Every structure is written in structure tokens, then in C-alpha cells.
Amino acid sequence: MSVARQGNVQLNDLDRPTIAIYIALVLIGWLMIFAVNYNPNDFWAFMSLGHNAGKQLFFILVCFALLFVILLTDWTFWRVFGFVIYLTSILLLIGPIFLGREINGARAWYQLGGFSFQPSEIAKFGACLAMASYLSATGVTLRNWRTRLIAGGIFLLPVLIILLEKDTGSALVFFSFLLVLYREGLPAQWYVLGLGSAALVILGLAFNPIYVIAAMILLVGAWLITQMRENRWWWLLWLLAVLLTIWWSDLANGLLNLLQIPSEIIQKWQFLRLAPAGMLGLSALAINYLPKNVLTRQRLQWMLVGLILAISLVQVANFACYTLLAPHQQQRIKVWLQPANNADTRGSAYNLLHSKMAIGSGGFSGKGFLDGNMTKLKYVPEQSTDFIFCTVGEEQGFIGVVGVVVLYVLLLYRITLLAERQRSNFSRIYAYGVAGILFAHFIVNIGMTMGLFPIIGIPLPMLSYGGSSLIGFTLMIGVLLKLDNHRNQA
């Protein structure tokens, strides 16, 4: 078999399915961006850099050239300079805090003439390289805490900087590195704990925290009673504890009102009315009268500590969300978790409502390319970027939506295959880092356009308008292809 060579690139050995899917998504994205900004009176406007489609076409050409340059580099370059690239991306992240351009409440962009640049997209690539470099080093194992803390610090450092820029969506994407850590051996118990904590946070935001706290106390107590069902008088003690909780809640509420404490403070700290009595009753019920053959006191004490931490998490999450977040971020969460109470079609719910309408109006086969009336009339804000999937749904219908989703699933499948066939630990870890970031963008962006996730403003990879995002994903996929091209030389 003849092999075409460019420098040290063996072109016939490149993973062609991955390249084909990447190119297909990039071209589909450009067509959708063209459709969003289409003007029948100025068809050739896309050739101008003053037009979004023209800018995106420019970035596509730049990325194709960048992909070729990556394939020309020595594959060991990325492993040797992984931490250097990561630290450079961290320095780039700091700049916008002081010098950046503010867009939609976030100061996360550099302004360069008519172009803007978002360094967080490059930081994702740098974090992939740094994580792979560290975890593949000799003697590094996730079985010890030092490694876990350093690995966590690698992706949490950019998270903290991006949060200072008030770009919450980009910050959340970095938690996809938890998938990498799981693949490399981090115990599953941590993920069970994490998912449980996330569920408590969501419940604490969706409902009144005091109801969530009461439910947790009652459920734990009921479980304890089932463990001690041979003693019927336990039910009486538990009923007494519940009545004590209710009485304390009413008494505390009366005292707070008597002291003329503002209602907003009472609302934020109302768990104080419930927690003391609940903990007292549960502790007395469980510890002082616990049969020795049911649970050890040590196990029960840990269970109570866990319950107290869970109660604290619910209250802290509610306080942080509705006190520390910006008003527009609070509204996004409210629209997501409490749509019935926040269905302001002209305000906070406008984007989501019109996003759903645009996707649903496409029907089975869509209205046709350039024939989407909601797209033409600009009903959905940010439709070239965060809501580009709406254009696919309206103009290409169910068939187009399924086609795009299948392409992403195939791309994730190919990346996983590439990861598992690597002989080098560095290459495997890097590939899973890329897969995690791609998956986070894909699932959250599509989910938020349909109301399954809050609107947090992250692009759909390769489809959304934006040079920074396209360059970032091109770097990640290009380096993966290069590493895979030399998988047998590692």
C-alpha cells in the first residue's frame, strides 16, 4: 500500500471517519449560520467579514489550515509542552478580568478590531494536555490523595478564573474532567456522592428548602424505625420528635416575627427553625435507645453527620443561587426549575419559549433551507451561537435534528475507540478529556434549547458561530488525530 507523506504525517493512517464527521459538522454549522443571517437582497454578503457567515467562513479556512499544521508537527511536541500550553492558557484567561470586553454580563472576551477572542476555549485544550501529562507521569496514581488534589486543581484553577469573569457556562464545562478521572480509577463512590449532592442542590432550588429538609429528616427517621420494627413504641418516639420539630418551627417563627426580623432574612435562614429540633429528636431517638444489634453507634453518627451536611448543602445552594448569582443567572435557573411560576413570555422565559416553538415548528421534514420564518424574523435571540440548534430544528425538522445528533454520537464513539486503542497513557487520557468536553457541550447546549437544562450560554461544537470555539475544538480533534496517527510509536 502506498503511503503519502507530508513531513512525518502518514496521511493514509489518519482516522478518516473522525475527519469526515468533523468536516460535516463544520459545513452544516456554516450553512445554518448562513440561514440565520440570510438576506435575499444581498446574497453575497457572506463573502464579507462584516457578515457572521463571512467571518465564520474565514475561521473555517483558518481551522482547516491549523489542522494541517498540527498534522505536520512532531507528535511528541504535545506531550512535552502540555504544561507550558496549559500555563499559557491560564495567563490568557486572567487578561479579560481587567482588559476584556463584556458580553451578556460576562467579561470573558478580548476585543481585537472587529473580532473577539474567548480564551476559555483554548484553556479547555490546555487542560486536556495538562491532565494527560500529569496522570500519565511515572508513579502517579489516583489511589492517593495527593494525586487527586493535583488533578482536581488542574481543572478547578481555570474554573475559578472563569467564574471571576462571570462566565458560569464555560466554567461548568470543566467538570467534564471528572469523566477522565473515573476512567483512570477514581472510586465510583465519589460519583454517587456527587450525583446525590447535585440532586439535593436541584431540589433545594426547585422547592422551598424547608420542605426538602423536612423530607430528608422524616425519611431517615422512617428508615431507622423500619430497622427497629420489633419495638412498636419506637413509632411513638418518632411521632414525638416530629411534633417537637413542628412546635419548634412555629415557636421560632413567632420569635423571629416578634423581633421584627426582615422577611427576606427569615426566608433565607428558615432552616434554623427546623434543624435543631429535628436533629435533637433524631439523635435522641436513634442513639439513646438504639438496640445494639441494629446499627453501631459509629455508623449512626456518620449517618447523622451526612444528614446535617445534606441539610447544609440544600440551604447553602439556595442561598448562593438567589443571593450571589447575577439577576439574569437567577432567572435562568428559575425558568428551568420553576417554569410555571416564571413563564414571562416577554421576559425571562422568552428565549426558551421561542426556542421550543422554532424546533417544534419544523415538523418531520422541516420548512426547508432558508425558509424558516422564525429564523428569518429573529424570534430566537443568539440564534447563530447558543441557539443554532433551533435553526436545524425549524428548517430541517425531525430528520435534520436526528441527523445532527447521530453525527455527534458517532464522533463521540469514534473518539472513544481512538482512546481505547492507544498504547500511550498520555494519548488515552487526552482522548477522554476531549470526549468529555465535547459531550458536555453537546448535551447541555441541545438540552437547554429544549428546556432540559438551564440556559447557560455555551456553544454547540462546530455548529455555533464563533471563531474561538471552532479553533478550540479543531485543536483538540487535530492533536487527537496526530496522537492516534502515531499510536504504535508511543
Residue 117 host element (H or E)? strand 115-117
pLDDT at 7: 41
Q: Residue 191 has which C-alpha cell?
A: 460519583
Q: Which of 87-101, 293-307, 366-380 comes out lowest in average pLDDT?
A: 293-307
Classify 363 in phi/psi space as left (phi over 0), alpha (psi -120 to 50) or beta: left
DSSP states of 331-357:
HHHHHHH-GGG---TTTTTHHHHHHHH
pLDDT at residue 208 in the model: 73
Dist. CA 278–CA 149, nearest whole Å: 35
Structure confidence at residue 1 (pLDDT):
37
| Cell numbers found for residue 250 | 412555629
Tally the C-alpha atoms within 13 A of residue 255's C-alpha that lie toward its C-beta. Answer: 9
The per-residue pLDDT for range 372-408, each reduced to its tens digit, is 888 877 788 788 888 999 999 999 999 999 999 999 9
Question: For position 2, what pLDDT does the model report?
Answer: 38
**Mean pLDDT on 266-281:** 52
Q: Report the distance separating Cα 114 and Cα 312, nearest Å.
A: 47
Lowest mean pLDDT among 32-41, 328-337, 387-396, 471-480: 328-337
How many Cα atoms within 13 Å fall on the side-chain side of residue 132?
A: 32
Return the number of other C-beta atoms located less than 10 Å from residue 120's C-beta: 28
Per DSSP, helices labelled H in 73-109 are: 76-80, 82-99
The dihedral sign for the CA sequence 348, 443, 152, 96? negative
Q: What pLDDT, on the 0 to 100 scale, is given for residue 477? A: 96
Of 278, 282, 271, which Cα lies nearest the Cα of 211? 271
Q: pLDDT > 70: what percent of the chain? A: 76
pLDDT in tens, 186-199: 888 888 888 888 88
**Which comes out higher in pLDDT, residue 319 or 5?**
319
The answer to whether residue 5 scores a pLDDT higher than 50 is no
Please say if the pLDDT value at position 438 is more than 70: yes
Q: Write out pLDDT tens, residues 131-142.
A: 999 999 988 888
- pTM (2 decimals)? 0.81
What's the rounded Cα separation, in Å, for the pair 482 and 10? 10
pLDDT of residue 4: 41
pLDDT in tens, 222-247: 666 666 555 555 555 555 655 555 55
